[in-house]
Each structure stands twice: as structure tokens, then as C-alpha cells.
Amino acid sequence: MLVGIISILTCGAQYVPLDGGVVPDSTLRFVLEQTGGRTVLVLRSTQHRLAGSGVSNVIAIDGDDVPEADDYEKSTTPQDLATSDSGCYVIYTSGTTGTPKGVDVTHRNVTNLVCLSPGGLDIGPGTRVGQILNISFDMAAWEMLGCLCNGGTLILRGSNWVQALQQMDVLICTPSILAKYDPRDYPNIRAVATAGEPSSQRLADTWATHGRYYNCCGPTETTIVNTMHAHVPGQPLSIGRPTPNNNVYLLDEDGTPVGVGEAGIMWAGGLGVSRGYVKLPEKTAEKYKRDPFVNDGSMMYNTGDLCRWAADGSVDILGRVDDQVKIKGFRVELDGVTSSMNTFCEVDRAAALLIDEEIHGFVTPKHCNLDALKEHIKGRQPYYAIPSKFHRLATLPLTPNGKIDKKAL
């Protein structure tokens, strides 16, 4: 499939990755109709799902009918058919509405992250980068394109995770995936970047002790991540500062910038902001606005993250605006509760959920001291935001993208 993606980009087209093993039939039909895709690359195991789709050109890349390279006429290197403003990929995400939305990302968006430091992760010729994530996840584009655009060597995972991890120098993944592994077993890994969900203090400290650890944040709409932080063991965990050519604005409900230490909604501006949602102009207008803080006519995006400025100019994330619940008449940020659990020294992974009008806290590992954890949370959350029940688990269930599966919990 990687060769297929490179071929699509080489001929100036835009790729739309989907996980044929888990994507619902309704979503598959919706994406095919909305994008008007004329060619679909599939595995034989999922080819049957395209029956009756109306797509005329379906190629099973692991099928017997794929022509050998020698069957093609030799040709010169294709001309550069794509520009910086051409579409690179479309990632479909359901967000909080359940309606699939295709985020339209350009070559300029991608290269601004992967070709500049720190997003380039110091990848160069000879650097081995792991490709372990589902290709329908935007972070997989960081793995693939961040490696190849900088001359690195891509290590394809296959089914043997341990063997792949032992070969790579740079790892890009979610905190939930990283929490499964001990850095002492993989001294070859010199740099790790996590995003997609909140990390924990313990996880960051552990990996930063053995190499560079970047805690990153950003939605698909701002091209994978728009803030990064090189963590120092023992220091408070932060999502850092904006990546190059990107801006972060923390605004109140009136659109006025907030001061240091005050909570505000993060709006992201700069070259990482994507073009919007495919064929959904009303949805695009809801989340994307003209950036009033610059004079170049560019757009900014409402991430929905509740954040505050730290005194050193970095950003601390407090939770999600759409993750608020009412407990005893009070508004509670569940992500904020999760964050408080994640700062406890014995917690690897944590999640806070509302179940039957009560907050439940889920943590790993199983031997975590719950009494000490509860006291820790009391110093960071009001009484009504402290989970009424805690659950210690060996592992937390994950989605196909490697994030904590809250529905399964």
C-alpha cells in the first residue's frame, strides 16, 4: 500500500486512506460518493466490499493480476504535476457528530511539518523510522512522508512488533501504544513523538530519560500536530509551543486573547491549517474563520481544546470543550480529570468517563495505589470532579488508531 500512496502522489493525485477491515459500509459508500474517487487500491481480503460501489477501477495490490514492472513500457521520470497548493491526502474523521468529514490537506500543509525542525525529528539519510500506525490515521502520514521526504529508511512493521521496534531509530505513535513498551528493551530508539491523545507524566519521564521525547498536540485539521514539546524528565508535561510557521491563539468566547494562566479555546493559524472539509462548506464555515491577527488572508481553525498560557510561553492543555459534563449541577471537563490522573507518578495511562451520572476513573497499571491517586486528584480538582469509582486494569482497550477506546471501557 505504501508504494500505491507514493504512486498516487507522484502522478499529482490525492490519496484517501480507509481501513477496509473496520470502516462501516455506510461510511465507505459515503466517502466513495463524496470524493468521486475513480481508482481504489485494495487488499484481496476486502475487495468484496466494493461490489456494487460503481467504482470502475479497482486494483487488488496483492492480487495475481497486478502487472509486473517489466510489463510496463519504460518511461522518463514523471513531471511535477502537483504544486504546494495541491491536495496531498484526505483523512476522514467523525469527530463528535458521527457524520464523516473529509479533512482536505495540501502538500504545503504537510511539508511545513515534516521538512522543518522539530517536526522533521532530525530524520536524514540512514535514519530508520517505524511505520506502525494504521494508514487511515493522519499520524501515519507523518511516519511515511516525514521519513521519505528527509531521506530516511522506513521500517514496515508487519505482524512482529518487537522485531520492528528493534530496528528503528525514530518512533511516532500514540501514548497508549508507547505505554506497552519499556525503553530499556529498545536502546536503539533515540527519538519518540507521541500525539493523538494526552500523554502521562510517568510515560514522558520514562522515555525522555532514554532519548528525546516529544509531546505533541493538534487535530487532523491542522495537519497532524501544531504544537510540540521536547520533554525534560521531572519537568511538568506540556504540549509546548507552535511548530514553525504556525500560530496558536487562546481566545475567550468573544474572540479576545486571554492572559497568562487564564483558560481559553485554542485557535490554530498558519501554514498547517488545512483547506477545510470536502464538499461541506457549512461545516467548514463553523470551524474555520479568517485569521484576524495576520494580514495575509489566511484562515484559523477552532481546535475545541481548552488551554492556558504558561509563564514561559508554552501551552498547557486543560481539556476539550465538547468533553464537558454536568455533575451535581457543576460543569466538569473529563479530559481535565484524565490529565490530573496522568500526572500521578504511578499512572501509565488513564481515562475518565461518565457512566450512570458518575465519573469513573480507569488507570493502568493494575498495582496503582488508588488511595494515593485519589489524594493526588484532590489537590488538582474540585470535590465534584473526583471520580466516584476507580478501575485498575492491566491494559486499556485501544481503537484501530492506537488511542484509548472509550466506548469499549
Q: What is the CATH number of the domain that holds 283?
A: 3.40.50.12780
Is residue 113 domain-shared with residue 254, that is, in the same domain?
yes
In Å, how far are 145, 178, 180, 293, 328 from 174, measured between CA atoms?
A: 18, 6, 11, 32, 33
Is residue 193 domain-shared with residue 259, that is, in the same domain?
yes
The total domain count for the chain is 3
Q: Are 17 and 136 in contact (CB under 8 A)?
A: yes
Is residue 388 domain-shared with residue 267, that is, in the same domain?
no
Is residue 146 domain-shared with residue 280, that is, in the same domain?
yes
Is residue 267 domain-shared with residue 343, that is, in the same domain?
no
Q: pLDDT for 210-251, tens place per residue? A: 999 999 999 999 999 999 999 999 999 999 999 999 999 999
**Domain stops at, among 82, 112, 146:** 82
DSSP 8-state assignment for residue 378 = H
The pLDDT of 164-182, averaged and rounded, is: 96
409: in domain: no
CATH code, domain with 360: 3.30.300.30
60: in domain: yes
What pLDDT shows up at residue 231? 97
399: in domain: no
Alpha helices in 224-333 (DSSP H): 281-287
What the block records as the C-alpha cell of 195 is 500525539
What the block records as the C-alpha cell of 97 is 457528530
Is residue 54 domain-shared with residue 141, that is, in the same domain?
no
190: in domain: yes
Is residue 32 domain-shared with residue 48, that is, in the same domain?
yes
Q: How far apart are CA 170 and CA 70, in angstroms?
A: 35
No. of helices (H) and no. of strands (E), the chain: 10, 21
The pLDDT of 401-409, averaged and rounded, is: 92
Rg (CA), the chain: 22
Q: Please give the backbone phi and psi of residue 169, each rounded to the nearest 5 degrees, phi first.
A: -100, -30
245: in domain: yes
398: in domain: no
What pLDDT shows up at residue 329? 75
Is residue 236 domain-shared with residue 304, that is, in the same domain?
yes
Is residue 317 domain-shared with residue 334, that is, in the same domain?
no
Q: Are 222 and 273 in contact (CB under 8 A)?
A: yes
Q: How far apart are CA 159 and CA 181, in angstroms?
A: 16
Q: pLDDT for 107-123, tens place per residue? A: 999 999 999 999 999 99
Is residue 122 domain-shared with residue 143, that is, in the same domain?
yes
Of residues 356 and 331, more confidently modeled: 356
Q: pLDDT for 65-84, tens place per residue? A: 555 655 555 555 666 788 99
**Domain stops at, among 33, 52, 82:** 82
Residue 96, pLDDT above cutoff 60: no
Antiparallel, parallel or unpaired: β 324-327 and 330-333: antiparallel
132: in domain: yes
Task: Name the packing angle between helices 107-114 and 138-148 (round to 10°).
Answer: 70
Q: How far apart are CA 6 and CA 19, in angstroms?
A: 18
93: in domain: no
Q: Which domain holds residue 26?
A: 1-82
DSSP 8-state assignment for residue 403 = S
Is residue 124 domain-shared with residue 74, that is, in the same domain?
no
Considering the chain, what percentage of its residues have pLDDT values greater than 90? 72
- The 10 Å Cβ neighbour count of residue 67 is 8
Q: Are 269 and 300 in contact (CB under 8 A)?
A: yes
The pLDDT of 4-23, averaged and rounded, is: 90
Alpha helices in 16-148 (DSSP H): 25-35, 107-114, 138-148
Q: Are 140 and 132 in contact (CB under 8 A)?
A: no
Q: How far apart are CA 168 and CA 182, in angstroms?
A: 15
Q: pLDDT for 277-331, tens place per residue? A: 999 999 999 999 999 999 999 999 999 999 999 999 999 998 888 877 888 778 8
pLDDT band at 158 (very low <50, low <70, confident <90, very high): confident
**Domain stops at, among 303, 322, 341:** 322
Q: pLDDT for 318-347, tens place per residue? A: 888 887 788 877 888 898 899 999 999 999
**Residues found in the chain:** 409
Place of cell 521531572: 234
Is residue 153 domain-shared with residue 249, that is, in the same domain?
yes
Q: How far apart are CA 406 and CA 360, in angstroms?
A: 11
Amino acid (one-letter) located at 71: D
